[in-house]
Amino acid sequence: MSDDLGPQITDVLSELHEQFAVAGIEDPAVDAELLLGHVLGEKRGRVQALAIMGTRLTAAQYERLIALGGYRAERVPLQHLTGLAPFRELELRVGPGVFVPRPETETVAQFAIDALAASTAPTPLAVDLCTGSGALALALATEVSTARVWAVEKSEEAHAWAAENVAALGDGRVELIHGDLADFAHGQLAPSELMGRVDVVVSNPPYVPDAMVPRDPEVRDHDPELALYGGDDGLDVIRVISRVAAPLLVVGGTLVLEHAEGQGAAIRELLARDGWQTPATHPDLTGRDRATTALK
């Protein structure tokens, strides 16, 4: 491929913006800048500055960008094209076979981080069930520097992505376990040292009802079904977590669950039936119910 000069960045961004808007992408301008930043190896702010400066792409850069733009217009997730997903202070490796972390989960992480940081233990302990890419587990370990975190993932494909992220970002304080969360509190997976000693259990489990197929192609066609669907009412995995988490936690320990808008009341009821104390549902930054917490 030639390194001859191609079009100006402003023209390329306009081209991508129009293509992405026609494809129905929610934030076409943002995706255009992020995709160009990936090609250039630059942050989004630098891309904007280069555009103002009238910078031109090389022909090779333009060719690569147009190829990636075509995939994005087909609604392949941006994170699959760049290989990275931002999450709080982290950049996580992601791709096919693992659920892409969403901004709304950052609110869920904050509840878990606050509870973990409030522990009086010299080394507070946390467990992340259905860890996926490792987003929640790694956020806790990163933002509570004295913590140790166990992360559990059933999917072989997602576990492989989580293993890569834990190796790069876990600082030796995140233990990744490949297995079914239902086995975690029954001796098959959980180390005996955790039983009754964990300060926080957090999870972003599959919670979409089986009949409610997501409308967004990025979710419907690319996120793994194992990470999305939770039975007829979406709460099957949450019922298991309610039973698994209790034996792990210290008295007064915190459970943090992500869920869909409209599921809070049903989750509070099932947690109360299982003996959890003070279940409460909290909104995300858009005002939608996103997390329910409870105490052992």
At which of 27, 46, 74 does a domain end?
74
What confidence tier does 1 reach under pLDDT thresholds 50, 70, 90?
A: very low
Residues 63, 91 within the same domain: no
Residues 91, 57 within the same domain: no
Residues 152, 102 within the same domain: yes
Cα gap 78→87, rounded to integer Å: 14
pLDDT of 47 above 70:
yes
What confidence tier does 213 reach under pLDDT thresholds 50, 70, 90?
A: confident
Q: Which domain holds residue 12?
A: 5-74
Token pair of 176 as six digits: 């990744």
At which of 43, 74, 105 does a domain end?
74
* Within-domain flag for 30: yes
Q: Which pLDDT score is estimated for 186?
A: 61
Residues 209, 88 within the same domain: yes
Mean pLDDT of 119-143: 97
pLDDT tens column, 231-245: 999 999 999 999 999
What confidence tier does 187 reach under pLDDT thresholds 50, 70, 90?
A: low
Residues 110, 18 within the same domain: no
Mean pLDDT of 246-273: 97
What are the backbone dihedrals phi and psi of residue 284, each rounded to the nearest 5 degrees, phi first?
Answer: -90, -170
Token pair of 273 as six digits: 């039936």
pLDDT of 185 above 70:
no
* Within-domain flag for 79: no
- How many domains does the chain fold into? 2
Q: Which CATH number characterizes residue 229's domain?
A: 3.40.50.150
* Within-domain flag for 107: yes
At which of 74, 106, 128 does a domain end?
74
pLDDT tens column, 165-174: 999 999 999 9
Q: Which CATH number characterizes residue 51's domain?
A: 1.10.8.10
Strands (E) located in the chain = 5-8, 56-58, 84-87, 90-93, 125-129, 148-153, 174-178, 198-203, 249-258, 277-283, 289-295
Q: Which pLDDT score is estimated for 139?
A: 98
Residues 118, 146 within the same domain: yes
Residues 219, 291 within the same domain: yes
pLDDT tens column, 51-77: 999 999 999 999 999 999 999 999 999
pLDDT of 184 above 80:
no
Percentage of residues in the chain with pLDDT exceeding 70? 97
